[in-house]
Amino acid sequence: MPLRHFAHLDPADEQRLFLHRPQPVDPDGDPEVLALALGATLYLPADRPALADDVRRRCADGVTSVVLCLEDAVADDDLPAAQANLVHHVRDLAADAAVLPLVFVRVRRPEQVAELVESLGDAAAVLTGFVLPKFTGRSGPAYLQAVQAASARLGRRLRVMPVVESPEMAHAETRVDALVQVRDLLADHRDEVLAVRIGATDLSAAFGLRRRRELTVYDVRVVADAIADVVNVLGRSDGTGHVVTGPVWEYFNSPDRVFKPQLRETPFREHEERPLRANLLARDLDGLIREVVLDQANGLHGKTVIHPTHVAAVHALSVVPHEEHADALDVLGAGAGGGVAASSYRNKMNESKPHRAWARRLVQRAQVFGVARPTTSFVDLLGAGMRR
């Protein structure tokens, strides 16, 4: 069943906010477009007592992708019960005709893929695919073979999202070789790989670090260096790369602050949304907003989130501003011969050849998340999403 971002908004709000509304995305369609449509991927521990209802409720609030986690989110001793709980609730989801988000399971070991597919039976139709933790050139083949076998059993392709988070990905002397091994392995499974995820928490753990809420992951230099190398090796725009998603933001309630808030007051005052700014600061979302902007600047798309309040911010920042969309169309309209011209907004240079890959990806994002009206700001989009 097709999914569509911002379908939870009132039609009048959509009309007011979007010049071009987000378009439906076919889960079995173009994997690159589907990867961009992941948006804010909400992780839910598989041992939650009301797991199926949680998925339905979050979908109604605009979540388009969820991961039911059997790995780090579940204590070792609780794993059998969590796996049984997951099977029960996925069967529950399969029993009704409700619209669902893309549903992935983060397994702990390759054998769980077959165990889950066998236990679910026909209810496995709910699953989009699997998240593969601590993925390396050594651990990866067993995971990929398990998913291929499950796909053959179900008669349809299951997608995979490997997670780059193991110590050899963190340490400078082993990282590049380890990433190249992953790149070569994924090249043989390109049709199955939906996106590459980054496990910043585990990368930080390799150095005994945890970033504070006042900082972004890009302020933690050893982790930022790892992210840069992941994008360099696995996120290239030459046809060999994959969509790489942003790492998790861990915080959702703000205590006393050390640094000043990272959201300027002016845009909220101009749009008469001062209470919204106060709400964002109280929920510690100003740090998340800054990190998403830096994610996008560094070639990442979408984000792992662990709290429903994060979703609206990630999706609001994913909507393509009118000015950027105009620039992308100018670049693509210039043809392959190249050249340079002032932008439609007369405030920057658009150079056809070097900006073409950026423009192509931005137009894909516009298809998924829509194009804002010239008068629509991030504040407007976020306000509409959070008031829903």
Q: What is the pLDDT of residue 272?
A: 47
207 part of a folded domain: yes
Q: What is the pLDDT of residue 334?
A: 76
Ligand-binding site membership of 188 (annotated)? no
d(CA 380, CA 376): 6
| CATH code for the domain of 65 | 3.20.20.60
d(CA 285, CA 311): 10
Q: What is the pLDDT of residue 343?
A: 83
289 part of a folded domain: yes
Walk along the chain (388 residues) in steps of 10 and give the mean pLDDT of each run: 90 96 95 96 97 96 96 96 98 90 98 98 97 98 98 97 98 98 97 97 97 91 98 96 96 57 55 52 72 97 94 95 95 78 85 92 97 91 73
363 part of a folded domain: no
Q: What is the pLDDT of residue 85?
A: 98
d(CA 278, CA 280): 5
353 part of a folded domain: no
86 part of a folded domain: yes
Domains held by the chain: number: 1
Q: For residues 27 and 1, is the Cβ–Cβ distance under 8 A?
A: yes
- Which of 142, 182, 146, 152 has the alpha carbon at shortest distance from 165? 182
d(CA 249, CA 287): 9
Q: For residues 62 and 315, is the Cβ–Cβ distance under 8 A?
A: yes
DSSP result, 335-362: -TT--EEE-TTSSSEEEHHHHHHHHHHH
For residue 139, what are the domain limits? 38-318
d(CA 250, CA 205): 14
365 part of a folded domain: no
223 part of a folded domain: yes
Residue with tokens 């948006």: 39
Burial-class residue 253 by CB neighbours within 10 Å (0-12, 13-18, 19+).
exposed
d(CA 304, CA 127): 18
340 part of a folded domain: no
Q: What is the pLDDT of residue 212?
A: 87
Q: What is the pLDDT of residue 259?
A: 46
Neighbours of 80 (CB within 10 A): 9
Q: What is the pLDDT of residue 377?
A: 86
Q: What is the pLDDT of residue 2?
A: 84
d(CA 84, CA 82): 5
Q: Which two tokens stand for residue 175?
A: 């990282």
Q: What is the pLDDT of residue 378?
A: 85
